[in-house]
Structure 1
């Protein structure tokens, strides 16, 4: 992130109000002005996720599972949090291989619930292989 990122974002949203609507739906900015060129590259290539491997080694995360939700997103999840938060968060999951950032927030929650209720080792293997294809294809990455 750039220094003074919140001011940069505020100025950007004044000039591009449609991005705010996009954020409300997807919880991501397609052209996040707060990112440096290196940060943008790391995010688009998914290399920004690599440090989370340390969380997997520590036992705080799984390779596959629902993505961790931000604290401010918890209230938007509602009662679904009781289902989703039963399992450890993962570096990759069902919605990441089903469209990545092109999947809206409501659909992410629905897919996370479906994953928790239908978990199997075979499902995790499918998600793992699809993750490799999705990362290499870079579709929906921003």
Structure 2
């Protein structure tokens, strides 16, 4: 029953938010156009409910010549592709605001698992174990306020599953307030996400092994 009510609430709140935030949308759109050439919005293929695909909307934060459908952490020097306005938009999560349109269209929810890239089969497969692909992906979610980019895939998928198992109006309210707090603190924001963290760990282990090898010489 709540899933039906949830969809109605999502539609009403996203419509109200778009109307209220329209001046901010306009200001950000102008800034993006002045800052670099290319479209204001960025569209990308993502995994939706029941692993169907949809086009997610974001404010463009990277140069128009950035390789498409490539996770940020797989780019060589990803920071070099991010525009000046993009750095601010990503840090404040304002680049995600256009997803209110996805919510209005019935492709996303306000709260739910964050939509994976179309080729992130590892994350989607892990979410299948917990039934986390059976709900609409969200603008924010339980995993987002419990680590965000810092979370490895198994833990992220488990948290998404916890949300599905405990989905309720009050749990959504808790996630919304948790999201506000996380955004204000920029909690868990790592440019390039989990991939950058994993790469850093591997590099550290490699240097430690090399250091031990040097000490034995």
TM-score by length of 2: 0.51
Structure 2 gap ranges (5+): 1-61, 68-74, 192-217
Greater relative contact order (CA < 8 Å, ≥ 6 in sequence): 1
Structural RMSD (CA): 2.1
Query: 77, 87, 93: which one pairs with 1:46?
Result: 93
For the 8 Å contact 1:99–1:140, the answer to whether it is kept is yes
1:75-95 CA-to-partner distances (Å, cap 9, x unmatched) read: 443263371111001000001
Query: 145, 162, 176: which one pairs with 1:128?
Result: 176
TM-score by length of 1: 0.76
**Bigger Rg, which one:** 2
Q: What is the deviation of 1:98? A: 0.7
1:1-59 CA-to-partner distances (Å, cap 9, x unmatched) read: 224434xx33x3xxxxxxxxxxxxxxxxxx63321121111111100110000111111
Query: 127, 135, 146: which one pairs with 1:87?
Result: 135
| Residue in 2 that maps onto 1:98 | 146
Q: Which moved more, 1:96-105 or 1:74-83?
A: 74-83
**2:57 aligned with 1:2:** no
Q: 1:59 to 1:35 in 2, by over 3 A?
A: same
Give, in whole Å, the separation in 1 of the partners of 2:187 and 2:181. Answer: 10
For the 8 Å contact 2:126–2:157, the answer to whether it is kept is no
Structure 1 gap ranges (5+): 13-30
| Residue in 2 that maps onto 1:68 | 115
Give, in whole Å, the separation in 2 of the partners of 1:100 and 1:44. Answer: 13
Greater strand share, structure number: 2
Q: What is the deviation of 1:122? A: 1.2
